[in-house]
Amino acid sequence: MSAEDEVSHLEKRLLDRMLFFTDAVFAIVLTLLVLDLKPPEGMGPGQGLGTLGGMVGRFVAFFMSFALVSIFWLAHMSTTSVLRRFDWPATLANLVFLAPICLIPFVSAWYGQNIGDPFSWLIYCWILVATSAANVALVLTVSRGGGKLIGGITGRETLHRVLRAATPGLSFAVGIVLLGQGLGHFAQFCWVLIPPALWLEGRFFPRLSAPHRRAPFTAGGEGQPPT
């Protein structure tokens, strides 16, 4: 094996390890979300519906958090599936992105136990804002240098990816603002802004360039940015 082939093989191994590690973290986080849904103990005859009714908040927190983590996982797949080479700054940005992701089961359980509590919802919102901000940082890191890590990227596509990464955070930032105005009941529904915001982003800032495909590794091959 030539020196160039060895470098290419090493970069492929490093990139695969980063992606496999990230997928494992997401899988664990999604699994941890269900641990707060413990079966009721000492439930007598005819108490089933009443017991389940007392768990509504935990089920709401579970399904909402599961959907949000899934959105971030899909966003991460979209960002990293175009990587052509391993990069240490991108790996560090990826770890920073995973840090608030790992906190979502904690804030989800807290909110589920205190559904309607403004403070637990405030903490939940801040964690989602931090997650979204870290996702934006990851997108910018991967896209830096005209997209040298992904074979080139246009400024319009970079804007498209940044806006999509920022959308969940902006939606939960609205929740923080509403809490500050004493509108806690409205603040807890700020997550419903995410789908229409994503639609508006796609409508007014569509991705114009064709999706990249992950190309075979070549030693030192960074691709040429599109003109």
Asked if residue 92 is part of any domain, the answer here is yes
Q: Residue 64's domain spans which residues?
A: 3-36+58-204
In a domain, 222, yes or no: no
The count of domains in the chain is 1
- 192-220 confidence digits (pLDDT tens): 999 999 898 888 877 654 444 444 444 44
* Residue 25 near residue 102 (C-beta atoms within 8 A): yes
The answer to the question of residue 155 being in a domain is: yes
On whether residue 216 sits in a domain, the answer given is no
Residue 102 located in a structural domain: yes
Q: Decide: pTM greater than 0.85.
A: no
**Number of Cβ atoms within 10 Å of the Cβ of 181:** 10
43 belongs to a structural domain: no
Residues with pLDDT less than 70, the chain: 1-7, 40-54, 207-227
Whether 91 maps to a domain, the answer reads: yes
The verdict on residue 99 lying in a domain is yes
